[in-house]
Structure 1
Amino acid sequence: MNKQIIHTDKAPDPVGPYSQAVSCHSSKMVFLSGQIGLNPITGKLEDKSFDIQVKQAFKNMMSVIEAAGASVENVIKTTLYLTDLSKFEIVNNIMADLFPKPFPARTTIEVSGLPKGAQFEIEVVLSL
């Protein structure tokens, strides 16, 4: 994969583990649907705890990435949905442990609700 990080000092530096923009020259793009903190066996949310839901959503995301024949290094864009933006730093810390530099581009959005009462959802775009 040919992933190029785009950065300019004329825009603010990222406030977490993501890049301002990512360019890729790829013949195959994969768009993952959003993943929430559902246990894949029970189909229920892992816990009411925000950080446990986030970790499970990332595990689910990784399973789909691997099923696509890719790895976390192939992620070029993430979109995060939180029902409480004050928990933004928790997600940043978990994401910083999972994603290697250079980080993918990212958008974070606070929403009023998510499926099954989840507190967090992530969707990603891969370049293979």
Structure 2
Amino acid sequence: MTPTLRSWVQAIVLSLLATQYRKVEIVTSNSPAPAAPYSQAIQVGQTVYVTGTIGTSPSTGLMVPGGTVEQARRALMNSLAILQAAGMTFSDVTKVTIFITNLNDLPAVNNVYKTFFQKPYPARSSVEVSRIPYDARIMIEMIAVGNGRGISY
């Protein structure tokens, strides 16, 4: 390969890599809009990083009535809306982190969680925290890896 051709091929490869790995914001009106300087999700290549979602209604911006279980269900629905905006579903989720204000509520949350996910379940961490924004009882964040259905560049 001549030096000129090698430089040309390298430039194309670098351009393709830069395009594939650029950061793309995922936005949907089917999940509450961010209330601070963050994105609902960011996609890099086929990986989507979904922000921590809480149990607020997309239409009112208010916390859903009820307790941790109802908030968990709404947070998962909000996360699903974000995933769908990226062309993904819960079957694409590889990692979930649950922040919860009372770990004693986790068994009830697991019952809701199992209605959204199927085996093999994503890897997951659950952490008790002292406080979550808007005095939510639970916040759920996730990472999903698609199989080519997401954003095309």
Whether the aligned pair in 1 keeps the contact of 2:54 and 2:72 (CA below 8 Å) is: yes
- Structure 2 partner of 1:112: 130
The answer to whether the aligner puts 1:91 opposite 2:114 as a matched pair is: no
Matched letter for residue 98 of structure 1: F
Q: Does 1:80 align with 2:98?
A: yes
Q: Secondary structure at the match of 2:95?
A: strand
Displacement of 1:123: 0.3
RMSD: 0.9
Correspondence for 1:57 among 75, 87, 93: 75
Q: Distance in 2 between matches of 1:118 and 1:48?
A: 11
1:47 alignment partner, SS class: coil
Alignment of 1:1-128 (within 5 A): 28-128=46-146
Secondary structure at the aligned position of 1:32 is classed as strand
* Residue 105 (structure 1) shift: 0.2
Quick one: distance in 2 between partners of 1:53 and 1:44? 11
| Count of residue pairs brought into register by the alignment | 102
Partners of 2:118 and 2:69 lie apart in 1 by 20
| Larger-Rg structure | 2
Larger relative contact order (CA 8 Å, sep ≥ 6)? 1
Give the TM-score taking structure 2 as reference length.
Answer: 0.65
Q: Normalised by the size of structure 1, how large is the TM-score?
A: 0.77
Find runs of 4+ consecutive structure 1 residues off by over 2 angstroms.
none
**Given residue 110 of structure 2, which amino acid in structure 1 is its aligned partner?**
N
**Following TM superposition, by how much is the alpha carbon of 1:28 offset from its aligned partner in structure 2, in angstroms?**
1.5
